[in-house]
Amino acid sequence: MAVKMIKVHGSGNDFYLLDQTQFPEPLSDADLKQLAINICKRDGAGLYDGADGVLVVDKSEHSQVLGRMRVINADGTEASMCGNGIRTVARYLGTQNSQEAFKVQTMYADLKVQAVADLAENVPAFSAEISPVSFDAKTIGMHANNEAATIINEKIPALSADLKFSAVAVPNPHLIAFVDHDTLVGPELGRIGQWMNDGKNVIFPDGVNVSFVEVLGKNAIFVRTFERGVGFTNACGTAMSASSLMYVLLHQESTDFNQEIKVTNPGGMVKTVVHQGADEEYWMELIGNATFVRIVTLPVESALAADYSEASATETGEQAAYENFVASLTTAK
C-alpha cells in the first residue's frame, strides 16, 4: 500500500507530515517509531534530505478540535508538543476542512490555532497557542541544586560556573540561558546539550531541550537550540516560546506582556506574544510560517524497510519563496 506524506517545516524545523486517516488501519506505535528512525536520517541515509521528525495526524473526538497531532522525533522518541510542527498541522487540517480558526489536540492540551496573513508571497503563516506552562522541577524532570523546586535565572554549578539558567516546561522541558554572542555561537551549547541528553546524567535523566538566547534589542532575541531527540536544529517552536516567556519575565525594564517579540533563529524568524492570565498562568502565541515543501509517495512497506527506490516527489515551489523571505530578513538588517 502506498503512503503519502508532505515534507513541511516551520522556520526550517522540518518534518514529514503523515495522515493516519489515509490507511484502513492506522500504523502501530512500533511502525511509527521505525518509520521516523528510517526516513528522518540525514546525509542521504533517509528519505530525500531527512527530517527532524514525523508529525502524525489523526482524528480527534474532542469538541471544536479538527484533529490530533503526535510528534515522533528522529530517534523514535515521542515529544509532547512541537510549536513549529503544530503550525503546519494546522494549515493541513484547516485546508482539509475549510476552516481558519480551530483547535488541535496535543498530548497535554487542545491548543488554539489560526491562519494569519502570509509572511511574504507564497509563505503561508499560522498562529498557535503554546501552553501549559510549568516551572515545577518534577514536571520538568529536573534534579538540580539539591533538588530545588524551581530554577529561574540561577547558576547550576554542575553544568557551568558562569551561566545562569531557567527551567520551564511548555509542556516540553526547556533549559534556557541568556548569553553574549560569543557564547551563543561557541561550543558550550553543544557540550551541555549532548550531556543533558545522554540518558545517563542525573540532572535531566529523561533529557531536556537546551537553548542559548541573545538579546538583540527591545523585543528582539536570537534563539539557538539543542533539541532533545534531535540535536542542533534550525528552530524549535517551544524553545522560542519558552525563551520569549523568560525574556519577558527577566527583562521587565525593556518589555512586558502582550507585546510582539521578534525571534530569529538559524532557520528564519517567528513572532511571539507572551500573555499572563488569571493566577499568573502564562501562555504564548507563536506566529510563523507553515511551509509545504514537497508531496512524497512510496509503498509503506518500503518506508518501514528503509527502501526508497520507489519513492516519488512533487515539489510545491514554496521552499524557494521561503528562502527569498529569509534572505530579505538578512538584507533588512
- 221-249 pLDDT, tens digit per residue, is 999 999 999 999 999 999 999 999 999 99
SS3 124: strand
Q: What is the CA radius of gyration of the chain?
A: 19
Sorting pLDDT into bands at 50, 70 and 90, what band is 333?
Answer: very low
Q: Please work out, in degrees rounded to the nearest 5, the angle formed at the alpha carbon of residue 194 by the alpha carbons of 191 and 196.
A: 100
| 244-269: average pLDDT | 96
DSSP 134: B
- Fold identical between 2-129+290-332 and 137-284? yes
Half-sphere exposure of 313 (CA within 13 A, CB side): 15
Is CATH 3.10.310.10 correct for 137-284? Answer: yes
Instruction: Report domain extents, the chain.
Output: 2-129+290-332, 137-284
- The C-alpha atoms of residue 49 and residue 39 are separated, in whole angstroms, by 9
- The C-alpha atoms of residue 324 and residue 321 are separated, in whole angstroms, by 5
- 38-80 pLDDT, tens digit per residue, is 999 999 999 999 999 999 999 999 998 999 999 999 999 999 9
- The C-alpha atoms of residue 70 and residue 86 are separated, in whole angstroms, by 9
pLDDT score at 278: 81
- The C-alpha atoms of residue 234 and residue 76 are separated, in whole angstroms, by 19
Flag whether pLDDT at 332 surpasses 60.
no
pLDDT score at 331: 58
pLDDT score at 119: 96
Active site residues: 82, 236
Is CATH 3.10.310.10 correct for 2-129+290-332? Answer: yes
Sorting pLDDT into bands at 50, 70 and 90, what band is 277?
Answer: confident
Sorting pLDDT into bands at 50, 70 and 90, what band is 330?
Answer: confident
Sorting pLDDT into bands at 50, 70 and 90, what band is 307?
Answer: very high
- 117-166 pLDDT, tens digit per residue, is 999 999 999 999 999 999 999 999 999 999 999 999 999 999 999 999 99
Hey, what's the torsion of the CAs at 21, 118, 73, 107, to 10 degrees? -60
Whether the predicted model's global pTM rises above the 0.85 cut: yes
Ranges of beta strands (E only) in the chain are: 2-10, 13-19, 53-58, 65-73, 78-79, 101-105, 110-120, 123-130, 154-155, 164-169, 173-178, 209-217, 220-227, 231-233, 260-265, 268-276, 282-289, 291-299, 312-315
- The C-alpha atoms of residue 126 and residue 113 are separated, in whole angstroms, by 7
DSSP 187: S
Sorting pLDDT into bands at 50, 70 and 90, what band is 329?
Answer: confident
Flag whether pLDDT at 85 surpasses 50.
yes
List of residues 6+ apart from 320 with CB closer than 8 A: none
